[in-house]
């Protein structure tokens, strides 16, 4: 099993290496790939040192799987080149997500749709993954009509530069700015670039991606995405209107029995999901589960996950695991 990790030195790439090692993914040949400035340097994986190679050299090696986390433009250019030599690409960027010819996969939900012919597979947006993980079992039982979501997203979702900006601000150091404003002691209602309709790209990902993953366009999603000064972990306030009414006890039970979800929901003990609990974990945490008393068949909940793990690296590796387990390479 020859596995290439494209973007191995980046924030998500490093977590991907950690997840591959933790989950003992079966690798016989590891191929770390990074930008031109990193080629020739060494990187440690599973207690062994490897030399970083460039993209063309990695294509020439014809890996079985290429896990991409190197940005949309890199994926658009290079994923097809890997696919042409028979490599199955799992891409973590936004490049292929809404391409109608590519699958958008959260393994717990729709991995069964994958076939050997799928040579480029898209990994959803980090905020989308944790959202659909919680919505999927509820949608199956009660059928969603409308979802209103507000996100509280960590600076790690922007990247190293943003994490450094927050660290500098905490330390009182003037440095390079990832955002147009300070992020410390602040909240920016501005994740990604603004589109013509007044929504940001991040907000439109949350509107469109769940419909594709669930293969259902009968429900709608309206999103507001906000960046907050946390170092890791995304939180979401979610309001869901269903066609069928529900019992809160049944909702909690259904979520508790869903693989990959942990319910933390006890107001008597101040138990609810927070980014500090989700840090370095692969589960999606759900709490503050309560009825919206302003209209019928509507639920409020709070969803938290580590955006670098289940929101990115872990979901990517889980897709690769499914491909291996089902002989789809």
- Kindly state the tokens that stand for 212: 């594709």
3-class DSSP state for residue 237?
strand
234 catalytic per annotation: yes
Q: Taking a C-beta distance cutoff of 8 angstroms, is the pair 30, 50 a contact? A: yes
Q: Taking a C-beta distance cutoff of 8 angstroms, is the pair 240, 270 a contact? A: no
- List C-alpha distances in Å: 165 to 41, 181, 183, 230: 26, 10, 8, 12
Closest CA to 92 of 125, 117, 53: 125
Closest CA to 13 of 93, 84, 86, 87: 93
Active-site residue, selected from the candidate residues 139, 191, 234, 279: 234
191 catalytic per annotation: no
Q: Report the C-alpha gap between 209 and 123 in whole angstroms.
A: 10
Q: Taking a C-beta distance cutoff of 8 angstroms, is the pair 29, 87 a contact? A: no
- Residue 152's DSSP bridge partners are 226, 235
Q: Taking a C-beta distance cutoff of 8 angstroms, is the pair 102, 121 a contact? A: yes
Q: Report the C-alpha gap between 303 and 149 in whole angstroms.
A: 10
Alpha helices in the chain, H assignment, sequence order? 11-22, 55-60, 72-84, 107-110, 126-142, 160-171, 201-213, 248-256, 275-278, 314-325
Active-site residue, selected from the candidate residues 126, 190, 191, 279: 126
3-class DSSP state for residue 267?
helix
Which residues are annotated as catalytic?
126, 234
């Amino acid at each position: 099993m020859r596995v290439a990790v494209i973007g191995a030195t980046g924030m998500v790439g490093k977590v991907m290496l950690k997840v591959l090692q933790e989950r003992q993914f079966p690798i016989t040949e590891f191929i770390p790939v990074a930008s031109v400035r990193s080629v020739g340097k060494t990187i440690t994986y599973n207690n062994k040192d490897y030399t970083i190679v460039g993209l063309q050299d990695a294509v020439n090696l014809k890996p079985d799987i290429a896990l991409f986390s190197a940005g949309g433009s890199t994926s658009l250019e290079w994923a097809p080149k890997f696919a042409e030599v028979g490599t199955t690409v799992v891409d973590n960027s936004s490049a292929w997500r809404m391409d109608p010819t590519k699958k958008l996969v959260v393994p717990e939900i729709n991995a069964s749709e994958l076939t050997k012919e799928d040579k480029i597979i898209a990994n959803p947006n980090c905020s989308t993954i944790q959202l659909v993980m919680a919505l999927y079992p509820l949608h199956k039982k009660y059928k969603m009509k409308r979802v209103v979501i507000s996100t509280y997203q960590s600076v790690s979702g922007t990247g190293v530069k943003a994490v450094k900006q927050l660290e500098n601000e905490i330390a009182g150091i003037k440095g390079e700015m990832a955002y147009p404003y300070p992020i410390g002691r602040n909240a920016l209602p501005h994740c990604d670039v603004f589109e013509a309709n007044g929504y940001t790209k991040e907000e439109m990902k949350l509107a469109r991606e769940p419909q594709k993953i669930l293969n259902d366009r009968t429900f709608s999603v309206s999103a507001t995405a906000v960046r907050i000064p946390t170092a890791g972990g995304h939180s979401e306030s979610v309001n869901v209107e269903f066609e069928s009414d529900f019992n809160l006890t049944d909702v909690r039970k259904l979520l508790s029995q869903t693989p990959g979800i942990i319910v933390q929901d006890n107001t008597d003990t101040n138990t609810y999901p927070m980014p500090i609990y989700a840090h370095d974990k692969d589960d999606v945490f759900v709490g503050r589960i309560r009825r919206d008393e302003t209209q019928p068949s509507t639920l409020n909940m709070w969803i938290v996950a580590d955006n670098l793990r289940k929101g990115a690296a872990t979901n990517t590796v889980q897709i690769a695991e499914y491909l291996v387990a089902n002989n789809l390479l």
